[in-house]
Amino acid sequence: MKILGISGIEGSIPFKQAHWPGLDEREYRISQGHDSAAALIIDGKVVAAAEEERFNRRKHSGAFPIGAINYCLQEAGLTVDEIDEIAHGFDYAPYQLLFNLDSFTKELYEEVFSKESLLKLVQRDMPGFPVDRVHQVGHHLAHAASAYFTSGWDECLTVVIDGMGEAHSVSIYHAHGGKLDLVHQLSSNDSIGILYSLVTLHLGFDFNSDEYKIMGLAPYGNSERYRSFFDKAVELQDDGSIRIPILRLNRTRDERENYLNSRQYLGEHLIAERHPDVEITDAHRDVAASLQACLDRTMEHICSHFARKLGLRRLAMAGGVALNCTANGKLMRSGHFDDIFIQPAAGDDGVALGAALYRASLGGDSVNRRLPTPFFGPASEPDEIEEAIAEFGDQIVATRFETLEETCEEAARLVAAGRVIAWFRGRMEFGPRALGHRSILADPGHPAMRDRINAMVKMREAFRPFAPAVTLEQAHQWFEIEPGTELPYMIFIVKVLEAHRDALPAITHVDGTARVQTVSTRDNADFHQLLCAVGRATGREMLLNTSFNVKGQPIVTTPQEAIDTFLKTGIEFLFVENTLLQRAGS
């Protein structure tokens, strides 16, 4: 079976813009269906997957993912006609009656959420595709499938935790024997994801987008200062569920759509709302710290309760909240689990993968193997690269190396000399993290490196830490993890060994932690080879690894975008496969 999974709801933000004109741009993200993507599964195996933003160049785009679909088809050498099914990672059909309760929600259902509205988009962008081959999979079920069917485990607890799916914020499954048995669900009115996003918005950042920045800000603050507020706001129940009364303060349509009363409550009982241009103070840092600590406790409360109840010690997770590396790291160290697997595209891009994997499992096509480092996106052919280099003409100078080994030696030499390099190689990553194929790299041992990279390319908030990539063989020498621990997706926070914190200033956060990525020869061989070369040059098989993009821009996809971004920033050297590019005259 050839199944194309898709995610995103194109009409969501336009519908909100039409009905609530004049909102702050950030408030339009209080809506459903961002981060659209496509994933192609053939006979149960992932063949290709990519986010639409990488093709239409609009960050977090929720547009129908025709760019990503075309890429997936091209990668597999298929035409649309050869696809057996399309599976969409939302299914509002069971809720139609509820949406009919009032004229507004009825219109929202018909124009945005219904299968008919999806089919219109399919017909617009994939004309002639048979409508009876388009299927919908419940949002949380798709998230759960994305985690379970890539975990490599026959049996585990599977937890989905996000802002909201169609109507729920948490879904607990007992996954076993290729099936996902639903155990418990929490209403979206008790969504820890929505609360986290509302506080993110309240602190002057973007809802449904900037939550990771609050996670990065949290270690600078005092988590006790606002603990009593969050203890009251999020009630932990004996049955493993939670209640968040302040999300139920909204009565009218306006209030409910934009959480007006909840936000007012935050302003009156927590802290005044911060405008994005206003300086971040200790109070903001303390709110971030208290919120993060609240999330840590909540995740542990929910996951540990159902693990005990079902007698399971393996946990697979997905959903946007599962991208919170700090909470994941705390959960890993909590002792409740022997092993935790977070599907790396845990946000809504991942439901494209999950919807397809779920439909494949129904047809008996399930291949439950541990997901490798997710290089499921496009690579560039040598002629495409040469064409891109030619396009930029005399702006750049190219040095071509014969082998990967020579390329790595030169890159390592530059890194050891304190230079910042961009590294574009192989297939693009699926999911939000650059894992060594579309990365900006530097030596983590240089004290000023964080500020330098921020100034030359990222233009991002100074408080946010950079992450390290380290060989699997050396990871335990630098970080508090057991030898051989694989953390290939950069999705867990671990502690930097105290003895090395001062020597690794560019990747050690203020609380002594780091969002580490381990790199193995098995599924990230080229990047491993580079790290080994860096190890010979610096004594550490480790690099600072951050995504190859500038603020507000999706990660680069093509060699043209790589060169263009390189030229517009202060990055000093760009490696595109085995070719080193420098600015002419530099």
Partner 1 sequence: MNQHTTTHSKLIAIFTEKLNLEMPKPGMDLLATNYIDSLALVDLILNLEEQFGLRISLETLDLEVFRTLDSISRFVESGQTV
- Residues in contact with partner 1, counted by CB under 8 A, come to a total of 23
E runs forming strands in 306-455: 314-318, 339-342, 396-400, 421-424, 438-442
244 CB-contact burial (10 Å; exposed 0-12 / middle 13-18 / buried 19+): buried
SS3 5: strand
Question: Judged by CB under 8 A, which of 58, 94, 272, 522 binds partner 1?
Answer: 94
- Residue 125, judged by CB atoms within 10 A of its CB (0-12, 13-18, 19+), counts as middle
| All residues at 6 or more sequence positions from 270 whose CB lies less than 8 Å from its CB, including other chains | 199, 202, 226, 229, 287
Among 25, 79, 81, 101, binds partner 1 (CB under 8 A): 101
- Rule CB under 8 A: choose which of 99, 265, 358, 423 binds partner 1: 99
Closest CA to 524 of 432, 427, 447: 427
> Counting contacts by CB under 8 A, is residue 185 touching partner 1?
yes
Shortest CB 106 distance to partner 1, Å? 9
> Could you tell me the smallest distance in angstroms from the CB atom of residue 179 to partner 1?
18
Query: Smaller CB distance to partner 1: residue 57 or 256?
Result: 256
Q: Whose Cβ is closer to partner 1: residue 186's or residue 411's?
A: 186
Query: Between 95 and 401, whose beta carbon lies closer to partner 1?
Result: 95
- Pair of tokens at residue 473: 């063989």
Question: Is-contact 129 79, C-beta < 8 A?
Answer: no
Q: 72-93 b/e with 16+ CB inside 10 Å = b?
A: bbebbebebeebebbbbbbbbe
DSSP result, 356-393: HHHHHHHTT--------S---S----HHHHHHHHHHTG
Residue 245 lies near partner 1 (rule: CB under 8 A): yes
Verify binding: residue 390, partner 1, rule CB under 8 A.
no
> Least distance to partner 1 from the beta carbon of 167, Å?
4
**Which residue in the set 19, 57, 176, 243 belongs to the binding site for partner 1 (CB under 8 A)?**
243
Comparing CB distances to partner 1, the nearer of 257 and 577 is 257
Q: Between residues 232 and 369, which has the closer beta carbon with respect to partner 1?
A: 232
User: Does residue 264 bind partner 1 (CB under 8 A)?
Assistant: no
Known catalytic residues are 34
Q: Which of 17, 105, 264, 560 binds partner 1 (CB under 8 A)?
A: 105
- Nearest distance from C-beta of residue 101 to partner 1, angstroms: 5
Please identify, using beta-carbon distances, which residue of 256 and 333 lies nearer to partner 1: 256
Q: Segment near partner 1 (CB under 8 A), from 212-220, 245-253, 354-362, 371-379? A: 245-253
Cα 530–Cα 539–Cα 422 angle in degrees, nearest 5: 35
Write the DSSP assignment of 85-135 as a string of letters.
EEEES---GGGHHHHTTSHHHHHHIIIIISHHHHHHHHHHHSTT--GGGEE
Q: Which stretch binds partner 1 (CB under 8 A): 182-190, 392-400, 439-447, 529-537?
A: 182-190
Q: Which of 1, 47, 78, 93 binds partner 1 (CB under 8 A)?
A: 93
CA distance 551 to 554: 8
Is residue 20 close enough to count as binding partner 1 by CB under 8 A? no
Dihedral of the alpha carbons of 344, 349, 351, 356, in degrees to the nearest 10 = -100
Interface residue with partner 1 among 1, 47, 167, 497 (CB under 8 A) is 167
- Closer to partner 1 by Cβ: residue 162 or 443: 162
Tell me how many helices (H) and strands (E) the chain has: 21, 22
CB 198 to partner 1: min, Å: 16
At a CB cut-off of 8 Å and minimum separation 6, what does 353 contact? 5, 37, 39, 41, 46, 49, 146, 150, 343, 345, 430
Chain residues 202-241 in contact with partner 1, contact rule CB under 8 A: none
Residue nearer to partner 1 on the CB measure, 94 or 276 = 94
- Residue 101, token pair as written in the block: 């309760």
Among 17, 56, 70, 187, binds partner 1 (CB under 8 A): 187
Binding site for partner 1 (CB under 8 A): 93-95, 97-102, 105, 167-168, 185-189, 243, 245, 248-249, 253, 256
